[in-house]
Each structure stands twice: as structure tokens, then as C-alpha cells.
């Protein structure tokens, strides 16, 4: 069953796209991560231009974040005030990120930039995940129950003489508002350049840098992601016309179905063993992207039509 993607300008198999969206959804349901970091490269592998893959992924994340956020909202696991500070940074980062994106596109370097950022990002994440999960499996096989690690909090950041000291009642924190804004800026840039939600950055930062209670971290991050990805989608649509609504809709449908399975699988299986599988997948995608950068292309010349 083929469908023509109007912006990617490519005929694709509907079932393949639903399956890719589904894979993202399963990951989200199992591990509570967005899956955007795998979806964007996978779309690139099937021939979707990197810029379209990034912009459309961002569009798709809006949907998964809204349904995730609503679940957390019902359980009151959202710090709206902290989320809004993150969001101010996120929106600022989004504008900077899309601006960088369109300059890189004009220079003909956007495909390279996306691949390069992904190779670095996936390489780092994949390696850490593989080490962590093999350690856990090893300890479990020896019957060692590891105590939660301490001393990883970056408390010294709270002591910095930063302005805008603010009280966040839901998280029971009194810190400088500059910290969540900065975290948001970095996340927003990553949303625009990579087509991910940015949870990979915000969630660890909220735990280790802001020291928010873990119960509110995911809901607050999703709250921020909804608005950041919405702004990035509109900005991509207006600056580079690279959002493919047909592709996004198919990915969303696949993602919704996949998330239901993912939740069930996640409840039944031990996550540690699956986590190493995920790590291998991440490293596999990373290596494939890296090969594309280093192997001499068949044709050194590429032709682009400029639409005025």
C-alpha cells in the first residue's frame, strides 16, 4: 500500500511508516522515552530528506506529549511554574535552533549537520546505556542489589549567585529561575535541530541540576515539550517548508497503537534486559549514520532545485 508524501516528495509504504511510528510508541510505552531520537534517523534511512525527517518528527512528538501529559496532569504530577520557566527557555531555544537550521539549509550543510549531531548524540547515549545496563545485569546475576547512587547531584550550581531567585512550591525548591531557563534553551535548540522532544536533556537536568522530585519530572517535561515542539513545528513550516503533515499523521497513528503495546510489554518484562537491546539499537543506528559520513559517496555532486 503506497502513499505519496507531499513534502518529502516520496512514495512510501503506509504499513512501513505505521510500523516506524509504532516502534517509537513501543519505546515510549516501555521506557518512558519519546523515541524521536530513533525515529528521525530511521526516516532518513528510508529516503526521507533529513530536514523533513527532523521537522516532521517534531510535529509527531506534539501528539505523544499531549497524551502523556494528560495522564500526568490527572495524577497532578506537573509543576506548572517550573515548567513555565523551562518553557520560556525552550521557546527561546526553539527560535535559535530553527534559525540555525535554516542557515545550515541555505548553506547546503543541514543534512551533514543533522547526521553529525546524531552520531555524537546516539554514540554517547548508546555507550552509556550499554555500560549501565550490562553493569546492572551483571550485579543482578551475582545477587547484588545496588543502592541508589548518591553524590551525583550538581548542588554547587544552586549556590551560584544567579539572579531571579524564585520559589517553586510544587517541587518545594527555591532556586534561581535562570537555571531552568538555561536548561530550556539547550532543550529547545535540540528540538529544532534533531526533531526530538528533548526529554533526554531536560529530565536528567531536572533531577541532577534542578533537583526536582522525580515524581513531577516527566509530567513537567512533557508540559514544556508540547509548547516547544508546537512552536518549532510552526517555525519549520514557515522557514523551510519541511513539515510533512501526511507523514506526521501516519507516525502519530502508529505511535498511539505502539504506545499501548509498549505499556503492556513494559509491565510484563524486566526493563534491564530490554535496555541493553535498546542500547544496541541506538549504537547500530549511530554506526550506520557514521558510515554515511565517512564512506565516499557514489556521486560527489548533488543537485538541488531552488524554489523561489
Report the nearest approach of another protein to the CB of residue 43 (Å): 16
d(C-alpha 193, C-alpha 55), whole Å: 8
Between 64 and 136, whose beta carbon lies closer to another protein? 64
Note the Cα 178 to chain centre separation in Å: 23
Let me know if 78 is exposed, middle or buried by CB neighbors in 10 A (0-12, 13-18, 19+).
buried
Between 145 and 304, whose beta carbon lies closer to another protein? 304
Instruction: DSSP letter for 151, please.
Output: S
Between 181 and 251, whose beta carbon lies closer to another protein? 251
d(C-alpha 226, C-alpha 222), whole Å: 6
Q: Which three cell numbers stand for residue 304?
A: 538541488
Between 155 and 260, whose beta carbon lies closer to another protein? 260
Query: Which residues pair with residue 168 across a beta bridge?
Result: 173
Query: Is the CB of residue 97 less than 8 Å from the CB of residue 188?
Result: yes
Report the nearest approach of another protein to the CB of residue 160 (Å): 36
Between 116 and 157, whose beta carbon lies closer to another protein? 116
d(C-alpha 265, C-alpha 67), whole Å: 19
Binding site for another protein (CB under 8 A): 4, 6-7, 59-60, 62-67, 70-71, 107-109, 112, 116, 226, 230, 233-238, 241, 243, 245-246, 248-249, 252-253, 256, 259-260, 293-297, 299-308
Query: Is the CB of residue 14 less than 8 Å from the CB of residue 2?
Result: yes
Query: Is the CB of residue 222 less than 8 Å from the CB of residue 68?
Result: yes
Amino acid at each position: 500500500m503506497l502513499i505519496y508524501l507531499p513534502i518529502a516528495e516520496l512514495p512510501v509504504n503506509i504499513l512501513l511508516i505505521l510500523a516506524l511510528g509504532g516502534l517509537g510508541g513501543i519505546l515510549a510505552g516501555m521506557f518512558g522515552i519519546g523515541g524521536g531520537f530513533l525515529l528521525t534517523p530511521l526516516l532518513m534511512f528510508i529516503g526521507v530528506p533529513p530536514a523533513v525527517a527532523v521537522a516532521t518528527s517534531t510535529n509527531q512528538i506534539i501528539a505523544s506529549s499531549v497524551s502523556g501529559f494528560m495522564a500526568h496532569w490527572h495524577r497532578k504530577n506537573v509543576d506548572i511554574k517550573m515548567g513555565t520557566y523551562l518553557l520560556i527557555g525552550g521557546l527561546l531555544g526553539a527560535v535559535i535552533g530553527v534559525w540555525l537550521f535554516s542557515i545550515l539549509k541555505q548553506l547546503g550543510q543541514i543534512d551533514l549537520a543533522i547526521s553529525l549531531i546524531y552520531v555524537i548524540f546516539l554514540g554517547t547515549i548508546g555507550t552509556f546505556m550499554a555500560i549501565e545496563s550490562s553493569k546492572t545485569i551483571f550485579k543482578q546475576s551475582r545477587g547484588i542489589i545496588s543502592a541508589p547512587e548518591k553524590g551525583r547531584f550538581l548542588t554547587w550550581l544552586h549556590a551560584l549567585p544567579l539572579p531571579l531567585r524564585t520559589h517553586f512550591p510544587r517541587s518545594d525548591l527555591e532556586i534561581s529561575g535562570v537555571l531552568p531557563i538555561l536548561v530550556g534553551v539547550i532543550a529547545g535548540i535540540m528540538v529544532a535541530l534533531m526533531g526530538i522532544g528533548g526529554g533526554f536533556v531536560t529530565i536528567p537536568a531536572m533531577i541532577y541540576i534542578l533537583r526536582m522530585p522525580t515524581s513531577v519530572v516527566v509530567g513537567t517535561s512533557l508540559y514544556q515539550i508540547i509548547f516547544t515542539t508546537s512552536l518549532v513545528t510552526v517555525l519549520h513550516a514557515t522557514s523551510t517548508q519541511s513539515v510533512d503533515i501526511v507523514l506526521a499523521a501516519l507516525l502519530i497513528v502508529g505511535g498511539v497503537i505502539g504506545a499501548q503495546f509498549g505499556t503492556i510489554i513494559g509491565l510484563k518484562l524486566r526493563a534491564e534486559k530490554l535496555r541493553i537491546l535498546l542500547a544496541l539499537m541506538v549504537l547500530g543506528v549511530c554506526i550506520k549514520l557514521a558510515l554515511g559520513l565517512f564512506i565516499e559517496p557514489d556521486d560527489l555532486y548533488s543537485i538541488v532545485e531552488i524554489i523561489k
